[in-house]
Amino acid sequence: MSNTPSSDRIERRLTTLFPSAALEDHAEAVGVIEREGKLQIPPLVWSFAFGFATGESRTLAAFRRSYNSTADESLSPGGYYQRLTPSLAEYLRDLVEYGLDEVAVPHTVTDQFDRFRDVMIADGTVLRLHQFLSDEFEGRNEEQAGARLHLLHNPSDQMLERFSITDEKAHDSTEFDTGSWLEQRLVLFDQAYFKYRRFALIDENDGYFVSRLKPDANPVVTDELREWRGDAIPLEGKQIHDVVDDLYRKYIDVEVEAEFKRGKYNGTRSLDTKQFRVVGVRDEDADDYHLYITNLPREEFLPEDLATIYRCRWAVERLFRELKTQYELDEFDTTKEHIVKILVYAALLSLLVSRELLALVTECADDDAVFPPGRWAATFRSHAQLILDDLGDFLGYSPPPLLERLIEDAQKIHDQRPILQETLATATQPRGEA
């Protein structure tokens, strides 16, 4: 175990990640505040970072109370909500992008990944929105609104690599760009990202991929990479899905040729072919195969290795589950596009802060200590308010006395109701903004 951390080790770690002066300077630069204004940016940022983790309610009123419990001067509901602007949404996005480059949790995945520069998992999840946002965030069904959060997750350090927000109808595939950044990186895809052209470009950029083979993808087998004794059915020259139901071997390991269209060049798209590897691992319970397509070499990765590697995709499913269960990033009742973005970026900011503290905890714990993601998320949530209180003290903020805040927060706010309705633009008083 490393030396026991001092009482302010946590606060120093967080304020090194997001220094107060830097938070204020960038807020002024992007027009979120004027330096002499009443709003205090560091408490605002930290109230968003911890607001998604504290308590049982993720309402805008709860975020305001979290801010008032940290800042030197409290803000009224109207004064707080009028500061929730599109500029603030972009400011929080900038902080998340900055944090992605700074936060790094120690390596936690199998040694098989040591040969890769990074391992990436691409996926997306739908966030249900108020139906009045259907113009800004078009849903798959008529008169329904939904946003899609696209993530590129790095399970090696339990952190996000890239993120974007689109409407629900946008395909996950459109948010994944190929290029030189893929060199020596391994990317794991589900079937939503399946494209032969994408796989070819990854290979041509010296990257690697593993994806499930789509049921309607039927490439031709050009070579068998594993010999079978006896009267095994020969596969060469056959299309994989045409013969897979007749096979009973434990593994399938073949080279296939796939035809696809290249990107447009001079207004035309030429046809091309590419060799890939298709691997099948038999599921005895379901009496069928899990089929994968990849460019990983057989000399280093056997079929059972590919199945194990692909199971790492569950890491991003756990991440989505953490965002939706621990932080309730699931349904939004606001009809303001920028409020949706503010809440999404606040949740991602919470995730960044959680991972930064996990890195600190890992450094200070015994070498053989293990911190399961679900248990860590629950632990972070249960201590979030205490950390926020300590952080406010560390930064020198003196919020109004508790009794004064109780009186202010518990009063009726009839005179503020028009401001709330104008700011949040809801047809009723929904739970997300009450």
Strand partners, 292: 212, 279
Q: What is the pTM of this model?
A: 0.78
Indicate the length of the chain as a whole number.
Answer: 434
Average pLDDT over residues 16-27: 94
Which of residues 180 and 157 earns the better pLDDT score? 180
Q: What angle in degrees, to the nearest 10, is found between the helix axes of 373-394 and 337-364?
A: 100
pLDDT at residue 431 greater than cutoff 50: no
Least confident of 55-69, 139-153, 390-404, 411-425: 411-425
Worst-scoring range by mean pLDDT, 206-210, 260-264, 312-316? 312-316
Instruction: Check residue 422 and give its pLDDT.
Output: 40
Residue 118 and residue 156 in contact, taking contact as beta carbons nearer than 8 Å: yes
Amino acid at 19: P
Give the integer Cα–Cα distance in Å for 198 and 115: 22
What is the model's pLDDT at position 433?
41
Structure confidence by residue, pLDDT tens digits, 103-158:
866 555 556 667 788 888 888 888 888 888 988 998 888 778 989 988 888 876 66
Nearest to 405 by CA among 68, 66, 47, 50: 68
pLDDT of the residue at 229: 59
Q: What is the pLDDT of residues 95-112, one digit of tens each?
A: 999 988 888 665 555 566
The residue-averaged pLDDT of 391-418 equals 75
Question: Residue ranges of the domains in the chain?
Answer: 9-104+335-424
Least confident span in 66-80, 362-376, 395-409: 395-409
